[in-house]
Chains A and B, each alone.
Chain A
């Protein structure tokens, strides 16, 4: 037979006899013959485990692992070895959504821990049990603004979001029928005057802002939430999760919704996924929240236990009236985040930010000193990511790539500019080596 099929030919025969058919093919007797394939599928032939390893190793080796100075939403942070080790436990990974709470307390416990940690990081009351990624979490935040406001259909979004996030939000808005207005940037930050003019003069359901923004700049949202709330507009703040260790939290800004990607909390870069989107909000908006939610309760003996709750918001109960269509999300990645934050704690997360800050500022200054880069948005505060313009006329990114360095990401809409990120993994030696390559 085959290693994933346990049936012996005797088993099959006995089972067919009980069912009352003569062959496996007869199990498909009701399907019209003209719909059947009647040939073997034209896909690769069966490979042994040795061959599977060889083929996929070969593909992995065709990718080049570069020293990473790229960010733009995805960051190369240190992951403690215990995190992937614990996450490999198949009691967790091979389970499904915890519908049977009595035998799913493991999954429910770590999601409850994750919800607590994310609520504390973002300074919000509650968190859901994950969204797909930061881009779709932002799109869900936009839809949540509209559904919470009932009669309003316009949402403002800062154009200082990374382009891939903006494209996802635009796509969702287009199909969902939301009037999405993109607020231009001025000197590298969202034009707050333009925001205020629109909110004052029109019915705006929500405003969605990015922190730090796509240039790496930390924006100042002082007073913005009050202004929004005076006009019954909801404020959603998207923050790089790791930066919440030191930056003012969405709760402190007065936000109604916090959303974003939690990849920066030690999740491997993995060529784009799996990552984990987060979405947090205030208690008052819980019924508008998309996604799964785990709550605490007690069992028949009074023991504390956890369960999926507030399911009347969800697709399997509410169908087309649900707050979202999301079903399977990124549940398992909650375990990743909970383990990471348990090990790192407040001190570790602060340390990560301090080192990223130092490395990025050192690299920024050295690149300027080299005379080959100039500031684009001078004197703007940044954490671990910044944007500079290259003054040379060659393709520096290709040259750097050949030297084994992923030299930032070309900045959208800005000629010859690069957005460069550092983390605690980037050493002075690595940065000096970049400078030497210039």
Chain B
């Protein structure tokens, strides 16, 4: 990344008459597309850019220089697990042998099916569950699929009254949104002052209309829900199932499994826990796992290993249906498999433990300058509630330095900002997740900068209020984007 503003659009580099492709001259004569009936053909001009190859190459290269990725620098974006994306994974996903049509007969796609099933098995062992589908495309898509499994389970039992799902108030926004798409009503359960589920608030919510409960563990504050066995017991006793949102699985790897905590259904974000690139907002992958007895409800098609060692795709009549065109984001599945082979059983525990070490180290080093609303050991991430008052200044003064100001100032120092203003439990939330692939040296630099920013806030709040100063562009007019909407050139 560099800080030179680029800002051009390909439409502005276009010149009539330029082309950027080359196609062979067709040796088939006698057919002409102009014979299509006029009523079905296009009249409007496409108005696409006209550009030569170098113009396009420079355009996107220059554009990329205005972008910050994990390969650029530290990306402590809470809840997103921005770990290093290994390059051998990319190499494996690009192998020509995987670039086949998805309707290729199973006999000719045995390698792809084998890889799918191998990853399925590894994820099942990591999760302590029976079986996974890798078809869902992203975390929220996995949530939706998992909730469909839960609803299907109840419907198959003739239990049609279970239309409500319990979601903690600290949950990711996708949890209630996925439940709504799945046709469930949301019942919110409160958090206690230590950020965990309030069991006394939960108890009266449980009844014959509850389909289940969604949780992350550790939760969005990075706190392990110690009472999880009791919560799972209560929900199971009322007839509901437990759903584990795998967004925070990273610290648990090899230490503590969702299946052993009492969860029945879960999803894993391969783009968080298993190192596949986030791609500026996808493609991700959200495999869904279930405990024994629920396998038949997973979406079609399912990949199965036959007794003779070959692999097939099958469709189960009891399945919830279908959630994807084919077998998911297969290219992402290859990357995650390559990562898990590289890690292996010897290293996987260390990924989780080092992510927890890194998070606790930053927390301990910065609590002198930032408000720590919840004390004690965190797992892979934690939340500060903004700068301490002595640095932030008077809350009612226009000079009061907010979490947004700190986040923007961090950009000047070459760091990505943490997740800000989430979870909603704290006004100035700043959610920091370092991941295990960051060194102590990087963390020390970050800590020093965070302290420096606190001092700046005290000495020169204006510097933060107007930050960032050294990025390709400065703070944006978000209101204008909404009031004078322009979504196309």
Q: In the docked arrangement, what's the CA distance between A431 and B88, Å?
A: 37
With A37-B257, A133-B137 in contact, do A102 and B99 touch (Cβ < 8 Å)?
no
Q: In the docked arrangement, what's the CA distance between A157 and B67, Å?
A: 41
With A106-B66, A220-B37, A272-B326 in contact, do A80 and B21 touch (Cβ < 8 Å)?
yes
Is B348 interfacial (CB-CB < 8 Å)?
yes
Is A15 interfacial (CB-CB < 8 Å)?
yes
Quick check: A68 and B101 within 8 Å, CB to CB? yes
Which residue in A35, A119, A353 is a CB contact (below 8 Å) of B228? A35
Residues of B within 8 A of A32 (CB): 226, 229
Is A182 interfacial (CB-CB < 8 Å)?
no
The distance from the CB of B235 to the nearest CB of chain A, in whole angstroms, is 16
In the complex, number of A-B residue pairs with CB atoms less than 8 Å apart: 707
- Nearest to B420 among chain A residues (CB) is A99
Q: Using a CB-CB cutoff of 8 Å, which residues 244-283 of chain B contact chain A?
A: 254-257, 260-261, 269, 271, 275, 277-283
The distance from the CB of B479 to the nearest CB of chain A, in whole angstroms, is 8
Q: List 28 A-B contacts (CB under 8 A).
A: A30-B377, A44-B340, A46-B341, A61-B97, A63-B112, A64-B108, A65-B99, A66-B101, A78-B23, A90-B85, A93-B69, A96-B281, A98-B280, A112-B487, A220-B37, A246-B33, A271-B326, A272-B328, A297-B486, A301-B473, A307-B481, A316-B422, A342-B51, A343-B20, A348-B20, A355-B28, A357-B33, A397-B105
Is A391 interfacial (CB-CB < 8 Å)?
no
Residues of A within 8 A of B442 (CB): 6
Residues of A within 8 A of B7 (CB): 105, 109, 303-305
Residues of B within 8 A of A297 (CB): 476-478, 480-481, 484, 486
With A113-B9, A295-B487, A307-B481 in contact, do A171 and B59 touch (Cβ < 8 Å)?
no
How many residues in A have their beta carbons less than 8 Å from beta carbons of B? 207
Residues of A within 8 A of B282 (CB): 130, 132, 274, 328-333
Q: Using a CB-CB cutoff of 8 Å, which residues 434-489 of chain B contact chain A?
A: 436-442, 466, 468, 471-478, 480-482, 484-489
Quick check: A220 and B182 within 8 Å, CB to CB? no
The distance from the CB of B159 to the nearest CB of chain A, in whole angstroms, is 16
Q: Using a CB-CB cutoff of 8 Å, which residues 311-333 of chain B contact chain A?
A: 320-332
Is A56 interfacial (CB-CB < 8 Å)?
yes
The distance from the CB of B415 to the nearest CB of chain A, in whole angstroms, is 10
- Nearest to A408 among chain B residues (CB) is B103
Contact with A along B351-367 (1 / 0, CB 8 A): 10110111011001100
Is A273 interfacial (CB-CB < 8 Å)?
yes
The stretch that binds A, out of B138-146, B201-209, B383-391, B394-402, is B138-146
Is B307 interfacial (CB-CB < 8 Å)?
no
The distance from the CB of B292 to the nearest CB of chain A, in whole angstroms, is 16
Quick check: B474 and A120 within 8 Å, CB to CB? no
Q: Using a CB-CB cutoff of 8 Å, which residues 69-126 of chain B contact chain A?
A: 69-72, 75, 77, 80, 82-86, 88, 90-92, 94-105, 107-112, 114-115, 122, 125-126
Quick check: B323 and A168 within 8 Å, CB to CB? yes
Is A104 interfacial (CB-CB < 8 Å)?
yes
Q: In the docked arrangement, what's the CA distance between A7 and B279, Å?
A: 27
Residues of B within 8 A of A270 (CB): 98-99, 330-331
Residues of A within 8 A of B115 (CB): 56, 59
Residues of B within 8 A of A111 (CB): 280
- Nearest to A68 among chain B residues (CB) is B101
Is B306 interfacial (CB-CB < 8 Å)?
no
The distance from the CB of A89 to the nearest CB of chain B, in whole angstroms, is 5
The stretch that binds B, out of A191-199, A201-209, A358-366, A369-377, is A358-366
Is A254 interfacial (CB-CB < 8 Å)?
no
Quick check: A5 and B111 within 8 Å, CB to CB? no
Quick check: A63 and B111 within 8 Å, CB to CB? yes
Is A385 interfacial (CB-CB < 8 Å)?
no
Quick check: B342 and A49 within 8 Å, CB to CB? yes
Quick check: A117 and B48 within 8 Å, CB to CB? yes
Which residue in B41, B51, B114, B411 is a CB contact (below 8 Å) of A62? B114
Quick check: A109 and B50 within 8 Å, CB to CB? no
Is A167 interfacial (CB-CB < 8 Å)?
yes
- Give the interface centre of B32, B48, B59, B281 by most chain A CB atoms within 10 Å: B281
Q: In the docked arrangement, what's the CA distance between A91 and B255, Å?
A: 33
Quick check: B279 and A332 within 8 Å, CB to CB? yes
Q: Using a CB-CB cutoff of 8 Å, which residues 247-264 of chain A contact chain B?
A: 247-249, 251-252, 261
Residues of A within 8 A of B229 (CB): 32, 34-35
Quick check: A271 and B330 within 8 Å, CB to CB? yes
Q: In the docked arrangement, what's the CA distance between A261 and B340, Å?
A: 31
Quick check: B278 and A328 within 8 Å, CB to CB? yes
Residues of A within 8 A of B139 (CB): 327-328
Is B234 interfacial (CB-CB < 8 Å)?
no
- Nearest to A52 among chain B residues (CB) is B341
- Give the interface centre of A29, A304, A353 by most chain B CB atoms within 10 Å: A304
Residues of A within 8 A of B66 (CB): 103-106, 109
Is A319 interfacial (CB-CB < 8 Å)?
yes
Which residue in A41, A107, A175, A245 is a CB contact (below 8 Å) of B126? A41
Which residue in A104, A117, A327, A352 is a CB contact (below 8 Å) of B280? A104
